[in-house]
Amino acid sequence: MPQLNPNPWLWTALISWSILLMMLTKLTSYKLTNKVNINFEDLTTTLLTPWTWPW
């Protein structure tokens, strides 16, 4: 019988990376649809305030 969960740290890392990737793609796509040039000040303020995230 093979073990179903060989390494829980691997799974937590994979899940966290996938969530981070999803958030980054959603954020960049949202920003790119609004305006083409992304200014970093607005990006940092958006990242620092999670309640203003578009999803």
For 28, the domain range is 8-52
Whether 30 is covered by a domain: the verdict is: yes
Q: What is the spatial distance between Cα 51 and Cα 45, in angstroms, rounded to a whole number?
A: 11
Q: Can you read off the two tokens belonging to residue 31?
A: 């920003």
Whether 3 is covered by a domain: the verdict is: no
Question: Where would I find the H helices in 1-55?
Answer: 8-34, 40-48
Q: Residue 51 in contact with residue 25, Cβ under 8 Å?
A: no
Whether 2 is covered by a domain: the verdict is: no
Domains held by the chain: number: 1
Whether 25 is covered by a domain: the verdict is: yes
- pTM score: 0.40
Q: What is the pLDDT along the chain (55 residues), one digit of tens a residue?
A: 455 666 778 888 888 888 888 888 777 666 565 555 556 666 666 666 655 555 5
